[in-house]
Amino acid sequence: MGDLSINATRRAARTRWMLLAPALFILVLAASGPLLITLVYSVLTAGDYGGVEWQFSTDAWFNVFAQRDIFTDQLGWSDAHLSIFWRSVKLSLMTTLACLFFGVPKAYFIATRPKKQRELWMLLVIIPFWTNLLIRTFAIMELIRNEGTINTALLWLGVIDAPIQMLFTEFSILVGMVYVYLPLMVLPVYASMERLDFSLVEAGYDLYATRLQVLRRVIVPLVKPGVIAGSILVFVPSLGAYVTPRVMGGGNQLMLGNLIELQFGQGRNWPLGAALSITLLAIVMIALLFYVRVAGKEDIKHG
Amino acid sequence: MAKRGFDIQKQTGFATIAMACFAMLYLPIILLVLYSFNSGTSVAIWEGFSWRWYASAWANEQVQEATVRSLIIAFWASAIATSVAVMAALATTRTPKFKGQTMVFAMINQPLMVPEIVTAVALLIFFAMIKVATGYTGLLYLIIAHAAFCIPFAYLPIRARLQGMDLSLEQAAADLYASPWHVFRRITLPQLWPGILAGAMLAFVISLDDVVITEFVKSAGQDTLPTYMLGQLRRVITPEINAISAVLLGISVIMVIAFTLLSKIRN
C-alpha cells in the first residue's frame, strides 16, 4: 500500500514536470537565461566595436554612478547618469501622482454606476489598454506637436502667433506616460472599489461626517490596497519606459530606458548597458518587494 | 433627518474628472483615425475625405513585408505560447502543491515583472552570441522571444478557466478508468476551449503590438509593423502612418471585444 502511493506520487510529479518542461524551456531560453548572461556581461570589458572582451572588469559598475575626469584623473559622480536617473525617478513619481489624481475619481465614478452600465464603462477603459502603446503615444504626439492639432487650432483662432513648443520636453514625456499608463491605475482601484460597501459611505454621511472625513476615514482605508497596487503598476513601467520618452522626448530628454539603449548603439559599451539594466531591474524589484510587504500587512490587518 | 441630499453617485468633481478622462483618452485616438482619411498631407489640417493614405500604405512594399512578418511572428508566437501555457496550467492546477511551485510561478510571470527594456537588452546580448556561433539570423529569434513574453498572457486566462471548472466530471471519468489523456481530451478540453481561445487571442495581440523587444532582437531588414512605424516617426509624418495605426487599432478593438465576450461564457 505504501509503495503504491509513493509510486503514484512519483508518477504525478513526473507528469507535472513533463507538462511544465516546454514552457520552462522557452522561458529559460528567452527570459531568465539571458538575464543571467546580462549579469555576467556587466562584469566584462567592453569591446572596441560593441560586444565584449572576456576579461573581468568592474569598470561598467563603476561607471553607472561615477566617472574619472579625463584630464585630472579625479574621481567624481557621473553627473550625466545621475541626472538621467533623477529624471526617470521624478517623471515616474509625477506620472504615478497624476494617474492617482485622474484615475481614482474615474474608478469611483465607474464603481458607483448601476451594475449594467459598469461593464460598458470598464470596456471603454480596457480598450485603450490593449491597443498598441506606440499608436497611443503617436496619437498624443500628433495632438501636441508644433504642427499638431492644438497648435494649429490655436494659431487659426489667433490666440498665439507662433506654435508653443510642447513636444520634446519633460512635460510632453509626462503627458505621454500619464496617457498610456492611466488604465493601469484605474483597473486595480476599480477592482477594490467595486467590492466597497457604499452603505458605509452613506452611514458616514448620516452620522454627520463631512465629505473629507468620509473620504479619509471610510473610502481611503477600504480602497488602499487597490491604490497601492495601481501606483506600483504605473510606477514600474514608467521607470523602464523606452518608447514614450523616445517619441515624446525626441532624443534630448533621455530616461533610463534610452540611456540603456544608447550603450548598445552609439555608446558601444555593452557592459555598461548591462550594468544599467541590472540597476533598473534592482530598483523595480525593490518597488515590487515593498508592494508585497505592504499588501501582506494589509491582509493581516483585515483578517 | 438632515440628510443634506447625499447621493453616492454624486461626488462633486469626480464625475467631471472621469468624463474629462474619457474624453482625453479617446480624443487623440479619434483624431488619429479621422486624419487617416485626410486627402491632404497634413495630420492637423483637414482637407477633405479620401482613401488615399490607405491605398498608399497598401501599395507600400515595406509596409506589406512588415505586415506579413508581423502576422507570421504573432501566429507562431501565440500558437507556441498557448500550447505550452495549456500544459503549464494543467500542471499547476490539476496536481497538488509541489516543491518549486513559487519558482515556477516567478518564471512564468517574469515577463510581466521585468521591465521590457531589460528583457530586450538581455535578449540582444544572448542572441548576438548565438548568431555569431551559428550564423543563423532568421525569424526564429523573434518568434521565440515573442513566445516567451506571451506565455503569461496565455497562461493566466487558461489557468483562471481551469480553476473555475467543476472537478467532479474529471474525477468521475478517472474513476471509470479513463486514461489521463482521455480525461483531458473528452472532459477538460471541451470545457477549456473558451479559455484557450481567449489566451491565444491575448497572446496574438500582445505579440502584434510589441515594439521594444522586437526593436532590439530583429536583425537588419526584419522590421515588423510597429518597428517600421517607430522608424518612420523620425521622418516627416504623413497620414499614411495614421492609416496603418487605424488598421492596427481596429484589429485590437475587435480582439478585445471578442476576448471580453469569450471570458463571459460560463462553464
Distance from CA of A16 to the nearest CA of B (A): 5
Domains of chain B from N-terminus onward? 61-264 (1.10.3720.10)
Residue to substitute from B125, B151, B215, B238, interface A, most A β-carbons within 10 A? B125
Mean pLDDT along residues B231-246: 87
Spatial distance between the Cα atoms of B119 and A240, rounded to a whole number of angstroms: 11
pLDDT of residue A4: 64
Question: Which residues of A fall within a CB distance of 8 Å from B127?
Answer: 34
Task: Decide if B115 and A284 are in contact by the 8 Å CB cutoff.
Answer: yes
Mean pLDDT along residues B131-148: 94
pLDDT of residue A1: 47
Mean pLDDT along residues B186-196: 88
Distance from CA of B262 to the nearest CA of A (A): 14
Question: Which residues of B fall within a CB distance of 8 Å from A103?
Answer: 21
pLDDT in tens, A43-61: 999 888 778 888 898 888 9
- Backbone φ, ψ for residue A76 (5° rounding): -160, 170
What is the share, in percent, of chain B residues with pLDDT greater than 70?
95
pLDDT classification of B247: cutoffs 50, 70, 90: very high
Question: Which residues of B fall within a CB distance of 8 Å from A177?
Answer: none
Spatial distance between the Cα atoms of A138 and B242, rounded to a whole number of angstroms: 9
pLDDT of residue B191: 87
Q: Is the pLDDT of residue A303 over 50?
A: no
pLDDT in tens, A166-181: 888 999 999 999 999 9
CA A150, A156, A160 angle in degrees (round to 5)? 70
Task: Decide if B87 and A20 are in contact by the 8 Å CB cutoff.
Answer: yes
Spatial distance between the Cα atoms of B157 and B82, rounded to a whole number of angstroms: 10
Nearest to B104 among A20, A274, A285 (CB): A20
pLDDT of residue B11: 65
pLDDT classification of B218: cutoffs 50, 70, 90: very high
Task: Decide if A30 and B8 are in contact by the 8 Å CB cutoff.
Answer: no
In three-state secondary structure terms, A50 is: strand
Top-confidence residue, A68 or B262: B262
Q: Is the pLDDT of residue A195 over 80?
A: no
pLDDT of residue B3: 45
pLDDT of residue A268: 86
pLDDT in tens, B81-94: 999 999 999 998 88
Residue of A nearest to B264 (CA): A119
Task: Decide if B91 and A106 are in contact by the 8 Å CB cutoff.
Answer: no
How many CA atoms, within 13 angstroms, populate the side-chain half-sphere of residue B192? 29
| Stretch 14-73 of chain B: residues touching chain A, C-beta under 8 Å | 14-15, 17-22, 24-29, 31-32, 35, 42-45
| Stretch 161-220 of chain B: residues touching chain A, C-beta under 8 Å | 180, 205, 208-209, 211-212, 216
pLDDT classification of A108: cutoffs 50, 70, 90: confident
Question: Which residues of B fall within a CB distance of 8 Å from A277?
Answer: 117-118, 121-122
Please provide the average confidence, as pLDDT, over all residues in chain A.
Answer: 87
Q: Does B96 touch chain A (CB under 8 A)?
A: yes
Question: Which residues of A fall within a CB distance of 8 Å from B121?
Answer: 38, 260-261, 264, 273-274, 277
Q: Is the pLDDT of residue B5 over 80?
A: no
Q: How far is CA B6 from the centre of its chain?
A: 43
In three-state secondary structure terms, B238 is: coil
How many CA atoms, within 13 angstroms, populate the side-chain half-sphere of residue A92? 25
Mean pLDDT along residues A89-102: 95
Mean pLDDT along residues A280-285: 93
Question: Which residues of A fall within a CB distance of 8 Å from B98?
Answer: 13, 16
pLDDT in tens, A233-250: 899 999 999 999 999 988
Residue to substitute from A26, A43, A238, interface B, most B β-carbons within 10 A? A26
Question: Which residues of A fall within a CB distance of 8 Å from B27?
Answer: 143
Residue to substitute from B12, B24, B117, interface A, most A β-carbons within 10 A? B117
Spatial distance between the Cα atoms of A94 and A174, rounded to a whole number of angstroms: 7
Distance from CA of A303 to the nearest CA of B (A): 23
Please provide the average confidence, as pLDDT, over all residues in chain B.
Answer: 88
Question: Which residues, 6+ apart, have CB-to-CB distance to A128 below 8 Å?
Answer: A136, A183, B25, B26, B29
CATH topology (fold) of A78-301: MetI-like fold (1.10.3720)
Mean pLDDT along residues A224-235: 89
| Stretch 111-150 of chain B: residues touching chain A, C-beta under 8 Å | 111, 113-129, 144-145, 147-149
pLDDT in tens, B28-70: 999 999 999 998 888 778 888 999 999 999 999 999 999 999 9
pLDDT of residue B215: 95
- Domain boundaries defined on chain A: 1-35, 78-301
Spatial distance between the Cα atoms of A242 and A77, rounded to a whole number of angstroms: 24
Q: Which helix (H) or strand (E) holds B100?
A: none
Q: Is the pLDDT of residue A131 over 60?
A: yes
pLDDT classification of B2: cutoffs 50, 70, 90: very low
pLDDT of residue B68: 95
Task: Decide if A288 and B113 are in contact by the 8 Å CB cutoff.
Answer: yes
pLDDT of residue A68: 74
Please state, as a whole number, how many other Cβ atoms lie within 10 Å of the Cβ of residue A20. Answer: 24
In three-state secondary structure terms, A53 is: strand
Distance from CA of A74 to the nearest CA of B (A): 31
Q: Is the pLDDT of residue B244 over 80?
A: yes
Give me the total of CB pairs closer than 8 Å, taking one residue from chain A and one from chain B: 269
Task: Decide if A26 and B31 are in contact by the 8 Å CB cutoff.
Answer: no
Q: Is the pLDDT of residue A295 over 80?
A: no
- Are A260 and A280 a contacting pair, CB within 8 Å? yes
- Burial of residue A277 (CB within 10 Å: 0-12, 13-18, 19+) is buried
Mean pLDDT along residues A210-228: 81
